[in-house]
Amino acid sequence: MKKTIIVMPVANEGATMAEVIDKILALPYDNLHLYPVVDDYSKDNTAEIIRSYEHTGRVKCIYYKESRGVISCYLEGFRRALADGAEQIIEMDGGGSHKPEEIGQFIDKLAEGYDCVWGSRFVKGGGIAEQPLYRRVLSSGGTILSNLVLGTGLKDMTSGFEAFKAEVLKAMNLDAFLSTGHMYQTEMRFYCRNLNTIEVPIHYTGSSSSLKLKSVTEALSILFKLKENEHKVVDTFKLNL
What does the domain layout of the chain look like in residue ranges?
4-236
Phi and psi torsions of 93, nearest 5°: -80, 145
| Multiple choice CATH, 4-236, 3.30.160.100, 3.40.630.30, 3.40.50.300, 3.90.550.10 | 3.90.550.10
Which residues have C-beta within 8 Å of that of residue 138, sequence separation ≥ 6? 211, 216
Hey, is 239 helix, strand or coil? coil
Backbone angles phi, psi at 232, to 5 degrees: -65, -45
Q: What is the pLDDT along the chain (241 residues), one digit of tens a residue?
A: 999 999 999 999 999 999 999 999 999 999 999 999 999 999 999 999 999 999 999 999 999 999 989 999 999 999 999 999 999 999 999 888 999 999 999 999 999 999 999 999 999 999 998 777 767 778 888 899 999 999 999 999 999 999 999 999 999 989 889 888 878 999 999 999 989 999 999 999 986 555 556 667 777 888 888 877 665 555 555 555 5
Integer CA distances (angstroms), 125 to 16, 97, 128, 150, 176, in order: 26, 16, 11, 26, 34
* Amino acid of residue 187: E
